[in-house]
Structure 1
């Protein structure tokens, strides 16, 4: 039986991380050693797992315009009120998806996307929620995508 989970934007968390960047800039301070600050083209998304025993099947990504989407997973059950996002908490590989022109199919590095999906399924065994950074490039924006991931239960 398959289960499709949608990546949901976490606007509150994105805003909190943007305020951290703004606060450091206003005070002229530097980030903590190893801290990963949110870039202007990055947004926080979350995936809520209703099941824990899952096997990755495939990515479902729709882009209504051309551009690039890089999905970066965080390895920890991370919330900004407990800790800053540290670079070491980011997983490799990332999921890189792109579309050259409006009529073109979405492309990706298939081996990386497969390994990335399998790693998410592995982490789902011990998590109820996972957080991701979505980096939008080359004209792509959050309004231009729909993104979900499919698993076998």
Structure 2
């Protein structure tokens, strides 16, 4: 959103794909499909266009400042926070563990390639503040990233800027 230089007293944290967790969740889907079983009541299965990302907090007391988001090309990326501390070997992702609001960034196919990304700014502000609140009690937080309308993970860069609480 804002590409200004990060002040020296701020902290920028970058979302990173958790490939092992994404793979584990895809294996759960394929296992259910092979065995002909159904998902558990309320279970949220990973869709083919989704991946699990993580955000690690090396500092706990943070105030949200802004999002940094870049996407080459066109498409839509939806980010959904997950409230659970993940233990995927013991628990499955349940729909009740998905946080509101979700974050969505997009650039339409008819928009110029160098046009700014669009987002719902009030939702993005609230989402960033919610992440900062959870960072007070978490060392890591997980997110579902959904890539739609031509968006691809390889064309994505996403981070958050925080200022440490004094």
Q: Is TM-score (shorter-chain normalized) higher than 0.5?
A: yes
Report the RMSD for the aligned CA atoms in angstroms.
0.6
1:78 aligned onto 2:83? no
SS in 2 for 1:58: strand
SS in 2 for 1:57: strand
1:60 aligned onto 2:71? no
Question: How many residues of Structure 1 are paired with residues of Structure 2 in the alignment?
Answer: 153
2:129 aligns with one of 104, 111, 118:
118
SS in 1 for 2:88: coil
In structure 2, what is the equivalent of residue 44 of structure 1?
52
Alpha-carbon offset, residue 82 of structure 1: 2.1
1:11 aligns with one of 7, 10, 19:
19
> 1:51-109 CA distances to partner (integer Å, 9 max, x unpaired)?
00000000000101110000000011122112100000000000011112312101100
SS in 2 for 1:134: strand
In structure 2, what is the equivalent of residue 69 of structure 1?
77
1:20 aligned onto 2:28? yes
TM-score, with structure 1 as normaliser:
0.98
Query: Residues of 2 paired with 1:13 and 1:40: CA distance?
Result: 14
2:158 aligns with one of 136, 144, 147:
147
Query: Residues of 2 paired with 1:35 and 1:28: CA distance?
Result: 16
Query: Residues of 2 paired with 1:78 and 1:112: CA distance?
Result: 24
> 1:16-36 CA distances to partner (integer Å, 9 max, x unpaired)?
000000000001100000000
Q: Which moved more, 1:66-75 or 1:98-107?
A: 98-107
Query: Residues of 2 paired with 1:126 and 1:145: CA distance?
Result: 28
In structure 2, what is the equivalent of residue 35 of structure 1?
43
TM-score, with structure 2 as normaliser:
0.91
